[in-house]
Amino acid sequence: MKLIEALEQLNNGKSIAEVATMAGINKKDLERKLANAAIEFDQEENEYKYKGIAPEESLSRDVKSKIVVLLADKPFVKKKQENRTPINVEEDFDLEYKMFKDYLKVDHSLLTEKKTFFLTEKMYNTVKNLSIEKSFKINALVNVLLERGLEYYKVDLKEKDD
């Protein structure tokens, strides 16, 4: 089936799903191929129309073959931005490596004063297992985790209050 035939079928009352089944491809593929061929549904005239300037070249392509956007059709093809997911560089950052580097920065000689604070059993087990898993000293790991938590909440570290 050629694109021109698919266009005629769509304008003769067939749904995209029916035309896709007739062509032997799935519905999403047909929608994408129609968009790449500059074929859009015209709301005002309630029919599918070719919007480009090279109908002979564009509409003579087989629906089952790969339909790439032709140079002549490029200005008329609208790409859906929601199909593209932006790459978030921060998400790709290796947090385990960052935690390890932060752990290495801790000056263990400064961790001499014994302080008491209470944790839930679940929190304590999580921190304990993490320290064993990463081979970190628990007091230095708690220091790193607290420092990162304070940074997250934008709390400045204070020196000893007098």
What's the pLDDT tens digit per position in 107-132? 888 888 888 888 899 999 999 999 99
pLDDT at 139: 87
- How are the residues of the chain apportioned to helix, strand and coil, as percentages rounded to the nearest 5? 50, 5, 40
Query: What does the alpha-carbon distance between residue 98 and residue 113 come to, in Å, rounded to a whole number?
Result: 26
Which has more pLDDT, 104 or 96? 104
> How many residues comprise the chain?
162
pLDDT at 2: 92
Residues near 18 by beta carbon (within 8 Å), at least 6 away in sequence: 9
What pTM was computed for the model? 0.49
Most distant CA pair in the chain: distance in Å? 85
Residues near 109 by beta carbon (within 8 Å), at least 6 away in sequence: none
